[in-house]
Structure 1
Amino acid sequence: MAEQLLFLDREAVLASLAHVDVCEEVTQVLRRHAEGRVELPAEGYLPWANGEGAYCRSLAMLGAVEADGGPTLRGMKLINAATSNPSHGRERAAGLIMLFDPDTARPNVLAEAGWLSATRTAAYTMVSLRHLGPEQWDATTFLGCGMLARVHVGLLAAAFPRMTRVHLYDTEPRRAEELAGWIHERHPHFTVRVAPGARSAVAAAQVVVTTTTADRGYLPAAWLAPGTFVAHVSLSDLLPDAFLAAQGVFVDDVDLVADNPRRILGQLMREGRITALSGTLGQVLIGERPPIRPTASHVISNPFGMAVLDVGLLGAVHEAAVRLGLGQKLTLY
């Protein structure tokens, strides 16, 4: 008997995502995580330096999500990155996500991971903003102007129609200008400004999203005005005092963040400098922890990036692809 899997390239992923409420899918998986209805094995991590001396890494992340009224979704994301890729016109990260057949354990769905993973991350930011962001805001700052920022902008336009101003900063001005041009073309109702520096960009908005590849911190608490919400999506932009002075700090999974040696928050937790977090976003969603919105100080959302979110989102994308007749059947043997 021939064994096949369905392959979804980026075009098929994008077409399928247009028929998926990604924020709702992420919300449901976060709820299941808080209820103990997921499995999250430790990630595999392989680092190296390429011929240019640039940092490279491969992440293998497995996860399982209980599905209401159906079989448990099980799968894996393999996402690789090289910090030198953007300088050569390539996206920093790329890879594959797969789902496993519940009976044979064979991979039965394989999808391009770059856009799907970025969409998962951006959807997490949208959900956190809905529950932890400022009561009223109309401007967002992006530090780092690659694909991840672009995906965030697209979801912001749909999720927060009152948000009208976007401020951009990137250590490579060309990337900021390219993103500004893309926003002008795709979302002309946004007013876009490229900031001359990171500090002025942070000061320009109550919502700050870090989508950089920074490996050391540069953003202190003093830059964050009272009432600011920070989606600390990348690894190391915030300095320790930003966490220590925060009104609230929320994560997606406490153990994953604490055990990760590459995240500044994890270092602070292991050193005992932060002994209690405000909770996980999932706990807020199920009413187990109270939401904290920024008022007297700032609030930080610091997700690890759980594989179960990728698995859950691919499950919804797969269903849409089947309905729409998208993707290619690949014969394994």
Structure 2
Amino acid sequence: MEHETYIRYLSRADIEKLSLSGNELAVSIARTLSAEAKGQAQNFPKTSKIFSDGRLFQSLMAVGLEAPAPLFAATKIIGLSPGNPARGLPIIGGLIVLTSGETGMPIAIMDATWITEMRTAALSLVVAKRFARADSRKIAFIGCGAQARAHLRVFAEAFPLSRVTALSRSRSSAEALASKAQQIGLQAEVADDPRHAVVGADIVITSVPDGPDLKPFLRAEWLSPGAFASLVDLGRCWQPDGFESIEHRLVDDRAQVEASRGYRKLTPDGPYTADLRELMANPGLRRRAENERAVFTFQGVAVADLAVGALVFEAAQKAGIGVLLPR
């Protein structure tokens, strides 16, 4: 077998050549989450080291135990440095190592940036398919960086979007996102007022980077009846009060939330309606009425990296993409 002799290396450019759709990623993630809910995969809480200047190092791992879960182990290491843009570098960098579940041998090393961006957006989509209105047309982005771009791509494939509102502390990034939305045929505006951006939106995506001067500036009460919000930024830009009136408050992994309480707080900070494992175990957990609102706060789970990493590896192997490194 190829991977007994070689390790396949996949750069971001290699992964992008595969042209995997957001729906393909979401289907793979949902299938693996369902397997985890049945004990066929195991997700481990992430470990983190956070520095006072905003630098962060993280490691995540998930293992597929039996089909239909991918029969691999995926380990991801991530580094983040707020000072990188001044160095001409991305804020976040990382790698995923995929290991054979049968032999325990590493079979692939892949760039983690595209996978992290797209698996996060696809994870939002998995929950949005349960709790966002199927006819959602207006989407608002608070924070307009890499996560906003990934969510725009994935959600534009899945919903009949017609209008995008972009708000960012950097007007140039909001204008860039609005331009990208227009390029795919959507109406787009750049907002200066947070309330104006949120009110009336069917879907709200917040991905505001952390910083020493950041103070919460969004209010849950601004969410319109029937709205769905994905708080990719852990809810750091939301004021903590007011979520009691939101019908569905969702989180990715209760155990991971508890494990991180000593150094990281999510908004809302519970109580939660369900986490992903509970959602997958109970298909009836979904929005019941048109006016029910839902928020999904999450830190990211390694089982999603396992799902997407396995999908990427198998597609790359089939297409002959990547560099084969000798052991």
Which residue in 2 is equivalent to 1:4?
A: 6
Q: Does residue 110 of the first structure (1) align with residue 118 of the second (2)?
A: no
Distance (Å, rounded) in 1 between the aligned partners of 2:176 and 2:227: 26
The 5 A counterparts of 1:81-96 are 81-86=80-85, 90-96=89-95
1:259 aligns with 2:262: no
Give 2:253's aligned amino acid.
D
1:128 and 2:127 correspond: yes
Question: Which of 196, 203, 207 lines up with 1:207 in the alignment?
Answer: 203
How much has 1:260 moved relative to structure 2?
Answer: 2.1
Superposed CA deviations along residues 189-226 of structure 1, whole A, max 9, x for unmatched, are: 11111101222111241210111113653222232232
- The separation in 1 between residues aligned to 2:36 and 2:237, in whole angstroms, is 27
Mapped contact 1:167–1:204 kept (Cα < 8 A): no
Within a 5 Å distance, the mapping from 1:1-333 to structure 2 comes to 3-18=5-20, 21-49=24-52, 54-68=53-67, 72-86=71-85, 90-160=89-159, 162-185=160-183, 187=184, 189-214=185-210, 216-235=215-234, 236-261=236-261, 262-265=264-267, 268-269=269-270, 274=271, 277-287=272-282, 289-292=284-287, 295-296=290-291, 298-332=293-327
The alpha carbon displacement at 1:105 in A equals 2.3
Tell me the percent identity. Answer: 25
The runs of 5 or more residues in structure 1 that have no matched partner are: none
209-218 vs 22-31, greater mean Cα deviation = 209-218
RMSD of Structure 2 on Structure 1 (CA)? 2.4
Query: What TM-score, normalized to structure 2?
Result: 0.88
Check the 8 A contact 2:225/2:290 in 1, yes or no. Answer: yes
Query: 1:132-157: per-residue Cα shift (whole Å, max 9, x none)?
Result: 11253201001111111111111122
- Which amino acid counterpart does residue 130 of structure 2 have in structure 1? H
* Whole-Å separation in 2 of the counterparts to 1:129 and 1:12: 29
Deviation at 1:293, TM superposition (A): 5.3
CA contact (8 A) 1:226 1:294 kept: no
Counterpart contact for 1:65–1:312, Cα < 8 Å: no
User: Which letter does structure 1 place at the counterpart of 2:303?
Assistant: V
Aligned counterparts of 1:154 and 1:201: Cα–Cα separation in 2: 19
Structure 1 residues 281 and 17, CA gap change in structure 2 (3 angstroms): farther
Alignment-mate amino acid for residue 102 of structure 1: G
Q: What is the deviation of 1:254?
A: 1.4
- Structure 2 spans left out of the alignment, 5+ residues: none
Q: What is the CA deviation profile of residues 108-164 of structure 1, one whole-angstrom value per residue up to 9, with x for unaligned ones?
A: 10110011111111011112111111253201001111111111111122112x111
Q: How many residues align?
A: 318
Moved over 4 A (4+): 86-89, 293-297
